[in-house]
Amino acid sequence: MSTATLTRPDRARVTSWLQNYGVYLAVVVLLLFNIAFTQNFLSAANFRTQLVQAAPVCIVALGMALVIGTEGIDLSVGSVMSVAAALVPLYLGAGPLTVIVVALIAGVVSGLFSGFLVAQLGIQPIIATLALLVGGRGLALVIAHGQLVQLHNRDFLALGTGDVLGVPIMVLVAAVLSVLAGLLVRRTTFGRHLVAVGGNRPAATLAGLPVKRVLIGVYAISGALAAIAGVLSTARLGASDPNDLGLLMELSAITAVVVGGSPLTGGRVRVLGTVFGALLMQLVHATLIKHNLPDSAAQMVQAAIIVAAVYVARERSTR
Partner 1 sequence: TSREETPAAQSNGSGPAASAASAAPSADGCTIDKTGYPKLDPKTAIVGFSQSEKEANPFRIAETQSIRGEAAKLGIPADHLLTTNAQSDLNKQISDIKSLLDRGAQLLIVAPLNSDGLQPALDAAKAKKVPVVTIDRQVTSKPCTDYLTFIGSNFIEQGHRAAAALAKSTGGNGKVAILLGSSGNNVTTDRTKGFKDELAKTPGLTVVAEQTGEFDRSKGQSVMEQLIQSHPDLTAVYAENDEMGIGAVNALKTAGKNPGKDVKVVSVDGTRNAVQLIVDGSYNAVIESNPRFGQLAFQTLQQFEDGKPIPPSIVITDDSYDESNAAQKVGNAY
Partner 2 sequence: MIATTVAPPSERGAAFATVLQRQGAAVVLVLGVAAAWFAFPRFGSADNLRDLALQSSFLAVIALGMTFVIISGGIDLSVGSVYALGGVLAAYGSRYGLAVAILLPLVVCGLIGLINGLLIARTKMAPFIVTLASLLFARGLLLALTNEGATTYKVEPGSALLWLGQGKIFGIGVPVYLTLVLFGLGGLLLRRTRFGQSVFALGGAEQSALLMGLPVARTKITLYTLSGTLAGFAGVLTAAYLQSGVTVLGVGTELDAISVVVIGGTLLTGGAGTVLGTLVGVLLKTLIQNVINQVGTLDSNYQTVVSGAFLLVVVVIQRLLARSRRS
Partner 3 sequence: MTSTADAQAATMTAPVLEVSGVTKRFPGTVALDNVSFALRRGEVHALVGENGAGKSTLIKVLTGVYRPDEGQVRHLGEPVEFRRPIDAQRAGISTIYQEVNLVPLMSVASNVFLGREPRTRTGLIDWSAMNAQARELLSGYGIDTDVRRPLHTLAVGAQQMVALARAVSTKAGVVVMDEPTSSLEPREVDTLFEVLARLHAEDISVLYVSHRMDELYRVCDSVTVLRDGRVVHSGPLKPLPRIELVSMMLGREIRQIRAEGVTAFGEEHHAEQEPLLQASNLSGGNKLRDVSVSVRPGEVVGLAGLLGSGRSETARAVVGAFPLDGGTVLLAGKPLKRGKISAAMRAGIALLTEDRKADGIIPNLSVRENIVLAALPRLSTFGFVSRSKQDRVVKTFMERLRIKASSPEQKVSELSGGNQQKVLLARWLATGPKVLLLDEPTRGIDVGAKAEVQALIDELAQDGLGVLLISSELEEILDGADRVVVLRDGSVATELTGDAVTEDNVLAAIAAGGDNDVDRDTDET
Binding site for partner 1 (CB under 8 A): 38-41, 43, 45-46, 49, 52-53, 89, 92-93, 141, 146-153, 161, 233, 236-245, 247, 286, 289-290, 292, 295-296
Give me the amino acid identity at 102: V
The binder of 53, among partner 3, partner 2, partner 1, none, by C-beta within 5 to 8 A per type, is: partner 1
Q: How far apart are CA 167 and CA 174, in angstroms?
A: 11
Distances (CA, A) of 150 to 161, 170, 255, 266: 16, 20, 31, 41
Among 27, 88, 173, 254, binds partner 2 (CB under 8 A): 254
- Is 318 near partner 3 (CB under 8 A)? yes
154 or 316, CB closer to partner 2? 316
For residues 16 and 124, which CB has a smaller minimum distance to partner 3 in the complex? 16
Query: Minimum CB separation from partner 1 for residue 163, in Å?
Result: 11
Residues 6+ apart with CB under 8 A from 96: 153, 155, 156, 159
Phi, psi of 236 (to 5 degrees): -70, -35
CB 140 within 8 A of CB 85: yes
Binding map of partner 3 across residues 228-257, x = CB under 8 A, - = no contact:
------------------------------
Indicate the Cα dihedral angle 277, 282, 284, 285, nearest 10°.
140
Given partner 3, partner 1, partner 2, none, residue 237, with its beta carbon under 5 to 8 Å by kind, binds partner 1
Residue 318 interacts with partner 2 (CB under 8 A)?
A: no
Q: What is the DSSP letter of 267?
A: S
Choose among partner 2, partner 3, partner 1, none what residue 20 binds, the Cβ cut-off being 5 to 8 Å by kind: none
Which CB sits closer to partner 3, 154 or 316? 316
**Residue 59 burial by CB count (10 A; 0-12/13-18/19+): exposed, middle or buried?**
buried
- If the CB atoms of residues 41 and 116 are measured against partner 1, the closer one turns out to be 41
Question: Which positions from 266 through 295 interact with partner 3, judged by CB under 8 A?
Answer: 267-268
d(CA 194, CA 255): 21
How far is the CA of 216 from the CAs of 58, 70, 119, 160, 261, in angstroms? 21, 11, 6, 30, 24
Own/partner contacts of 206-212, CB < 8 Å, gap of 24 or more, are: 211/119, 212/119, 212/120
Of these partners, partner 2, partner 1, partner 3, none, which one is at the site of residue 241 (CB under 5 to 8 Å by kind)? partner 1
Between the alpha carbon of residue 32 and those of residues 37, 41, 69, 272, 283, the distances in Å are 8, 10, 32, 20, 11
Stretch touching partner 2 by CB under 8 A, among 49-57, 87-95, 211-219, 253-261: 253-261
What residue ranges bind partner 2 (CB under 8 A)?
73, 117, 121-124, 126-128, 130-139, 141-142, 146, 251, 254-255, 258, 263-265, 294-304, 306-307, 310-311, 314-317
